[in-house]
Each structure stands twice: as structure tokens, then as C-alpha cells.
């Protein structure tokens, strides 16, 4: 069994509606440092990271502590949306997070393949791994482990660590990360 540490990226500086790939703000950098302090004694472990800047910046303190470089894996990126316009994306996201996967499959056909690729990536991990990713991506993994079809099962805090295991065929939830209902988008 491989243990997976699913880390939600730190708080981003995303107040600018023109920036689709913001880095971390000051709080997010502190959350990344706190996560690294928690995880450092467990490693070095393998690490995979979403391609977005906020996840790469969240991973950086742990990469430094372990003298490694996380592998950028597009399959664990944030949920793809029908638009790059951030205002429209927020509106769409607020609607979709209240749905089930069966419901979104009817309206957003690109989402089930994204979900399947994300789960396949996690199931393929054969060694203990840190996975630095996003709110919905973490919920995808938790939903698969709990056989729950909702897109949102909990609200992982920025910098939180959700611990799971995989045997290559299934995911098992060991510990939910800190949960705090936050604004998404």
C-alpha cells in the first residue's frame, strides 16, 4: 500500500481577475512553510505537483527541505472549466461544486475524463507520495474512497494535508485534512 499525502495549495494572490495562474500571497507562503515543517520528518518522499504556479510554490519549501524536485503532473491540475474568464469561471464553479458527477456528466462532458485521469494517476502511485493539488481534485480522491458521487464532500483548508492509501485498485481515506469552508475560485 502506498500512502498519499494530498496537500491543498496555499492561499493564492488571486484577487486580480486577469491572472489565471496566481502565485501565493503572504498567508499562502506561510501555509506552505507550515505544511513543509509537518511533512519534512516523513521524507524525503516522492512528490507530484499540479502545473499551476500556486501548487508549485506550495511544494517549494518541502522540495528544499528534502533536496528534491516534484514532478509536474497535469492530470492532478484543478478542475477544468468552460472558460478562462475568471468571473465566469467562479459563477460556473459555484454551480458545479453543488452537483454530483452524474449531473455534471450531462452538461460538462469534459469533466468525467479529467476525473478518471486524476484517479488513474493516484491509483498508479506505487510509493508514498506527496500530491500537491487543488480543492476539487482532493474531493475527487475522497469521493472515490468513500464511494460518494458528490463533487464536494468537504472543504479542505489551504495548506491542509489529507492522508490516503492506495493498493493500485482502490483508494482508502486515512485522515481528512483540516476542513474550513472557504470561498472557491
Instruction: State pLDDT tens for residues 1-15.
Output: 999 999 999 999 976
Q: Is 182 contained in some domain? A: no
State the pLDDT at residue 85.
Answer: 86
State the pLDDT at residue 19.
Answer: 76
pLDDT, greater one: 73 or 181: 73
The CATH number assigned to the domain holding 79 equals: 3.40.50.1240
Taking Cα atoms as reference points, which of 45, 28, 20, 12 lies closest to residue 130? 45
Rounded-to-integer distance, Cα 75 and Cα 176, Å: 21
With 0-12 / 13-18 / 19 or more C-beta atoms within 10 angstroms meaning exposed / middle / buried, residue 91 is middle
**Domain membership of residue 105 as a residue range:** 2-175
Q: Is-contact 92 83, C-beta < 8 A?
A: yes
Q: Is 154 contained in some domain? A: yes
Q: Is 185 contained in some domain? A: no
Q: Is 92 contained in some domain? A: yes
Looking up cell 521524507 gives 43
If one counts the domains in the chain, the total is 1
State the pLDDT at residue 17.
Answer: 60
Q: Is 181 contained in some domain? A: no
Q: Is-contact 184 94, C-beta < 8 A?
A: yes
State the pLDDT at residue 185.
Answer: 45
Q: Is 180 contained in some domain? A: no
Asked whether the predicted pLDDT for residue 16 surpasses 60, the reply is: no
The secondary structure element, H or E, covering residue 129 is: strand 129-133
Amino acid at each position: 500500500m502506498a500512502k498519499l499525502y494530498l496537500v491543498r495549495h496555499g492561499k493564492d494572490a488571486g484577487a486580480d481577475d486577469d491572472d489565471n495562474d496566481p502565485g501565493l500571497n503572504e498567508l499562502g507562503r506561510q501555509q506552505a512553510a507550515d505544511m513543509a515543517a509537518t511533512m519534512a520528518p516523513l521524507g524525503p518522499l516522492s512528490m507530484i505537483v499540479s502545473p499551476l504556479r500556486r501548487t508549485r510554490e506550495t511544494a517549494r519549501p518541502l522540495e528544499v527541505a528534502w533536496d528534491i524536485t516534484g514532478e509536474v503532473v497535469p492530470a492532478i491540475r484543478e478542475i477544468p472549466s468552460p472558460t478562462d474568464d475568471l468571473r465566469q469561471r467562479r459563477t460556473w464553479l459555484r454551480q458545479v461544486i453543488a452537483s454530483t458527477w452524474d449531473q455534471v456528466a450531462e452538461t460538462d462532458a469534459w469533466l468525467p475524463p479529467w476525473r478518471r485521469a486524476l484517479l488513474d494517476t493516484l491509483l498508479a502511485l506505487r510509493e508514498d507520495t506527496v500530491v500537491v493539488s487543488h480543492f476539487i481534485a482532493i474531493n475527487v480522491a475522497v469521493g472515490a474512497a468513500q464511494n460518494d458521487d458528490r463533487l464536494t464532500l468537504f472543504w479542505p483548508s489551504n495548506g491542509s494535508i489529507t492522508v490516503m492509501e492506495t493498493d493500485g485498485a482502490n483508494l482508502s481515506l486515512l485522515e481528512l485534512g483540516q476542513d474550513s469552508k472557504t470561498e472557491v475560485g
